[in-house]
Structure 1
Amino acid sequence: MANNLSLKSFVVLMKASKIVQEQTKKDINNYNMHTSEFMVLEALYSKGKQTVRQISDAVLINSGSITYVMDKLEAKGLLERIDCKEDRRVVYIQITDEGKKLMDEIFPKHQLVIEDIFSCITDQEKEVFIDLLKKVGKKE
């Protein structure tokens, strides 16, 4: 049991994930924002207009919670809802000019924090790391 590499891999992954989440959360809190708010804005900032379902899938937040997060961001003037003309059941979410301006300012700083987190491994190691995590993540 002491040599169980699967268990050790799991424990190391969980510890690393916790540290990365703590560091990114601390950075996001500097902008008076919750992680979930930042994730929604980042998805819209990077990918443009999306449906609620697309955002929910992208940021791994369930649809009940995503509505609450979007309500808060809409109240702050950072995103807007747009009804789909072709299908009344569909609502698109789009970042506002104010939201884009905010992300133009804070996203490069956040990216530097992430770069710092991963600065201990080479680009080649990052590519291997990504491939390995994809393999583990595709197991269902």
Structure 2
Amino acid sequence: MEGNLSLRAFVVLMKASKTVTDHVKQDINRYDMKTSDFAVLEALYHKGRLTVKQISEAVLINSGSMTYVIDKLESKNLIERHPCSDDRRVVYIHITEEGKQLMDNIFPHHQKAIEEIFQDVTDDEKRTLIDVLKRVGQA
């Protein structure tokens, strides 16, 4: 029976993940943005200056795709590259004032869309969900 519960939990998790992902993509598309672009801007908006590697790890985009995303965002003047003075291999990425203003405008709406996903879940259930998913992710 335990094996069946694990399989059932897996299937429910995958279906929930798809539903949440679809909802978030639909919301991000309202801003005429791709999910990867939004993820990079959001990371910089909330965490400040990051290296390309740090962004890649934070948003789960491989480094090959990351260069393309960063190039696009830079061409739109939403981010800037700054080389590290101590290590030529390291490049810091900063959100520009224009990028910050964009995120100031759209992030509250995005946050509201995410809150709608969890509107029928209590705070205690959210805490439990976070704890369980962290343990699953560390397994």
d(CA) in 1 for partners of 2:4 and 2:36? Answer: 35
SS of 1:8 mapped into structure 2: helix
Residue 107 (structure 2) aligns with:
107
Counterpart of 2:4, as a letter, is: N
Aligned to 2:41: 41
Q: TM-score, normalised by structure 1?
A: 0.97
Gap runs ≥5 in structure 2: none
Matched with 2:59 is 59
Corresponding residue for residue 91 of structure 1: 91
* SS of corresponding position for 2:132: helix
**Alpha-carbon deviations, 1:62-120, whole Å to 9, x = none?**
00001101110001110000011111111000000000000000000000000000011
Q: Tell me the alpha carbon deviations over residues 16-52 of structure 1, each in whole angstroms, 9 at most, x when there is no partner.
A: 0000000000000000000000000000000000000
Letter in 1 for 2:80: E
Question: What stretches of structure 1 of length at least 5 have no aligned partner?
Answer: none
Distance in 2 between the 1:53 and 1:3 partners?
38
Q: Please name the residue that 1:18 is paired with.
A: 18
AA at the equivalent of 1:26: Q
Aligned length: 139
Aligned residue in 2 for 1:127: 127
| Cα RMSD (Å) | 1.2
Amino acid at match of 1:32: D
Separation in 2, partners of 1:44, 1:72: 15
Report what 2:78 is aligned to: 78
Runs of 4+ with deviation above 3 angstroms = none
| Amino acid across the alignment from 2:60 | L
- Give the TM-score of the pair, scaled to structure 2: 0.98
| 1:85 aligned counterpart, secondary structure | coil
Q: Secondary structure at the match of 1:80?
A: strand
Q: Judging changes above 3 Å, is the alpha-carbon distance between structure 1 residues 3 and 55 closer, same or farther for their aligned structure 2 residues? A: closer
Distance of 2:54 and 2:23 partners within structure 1: 26
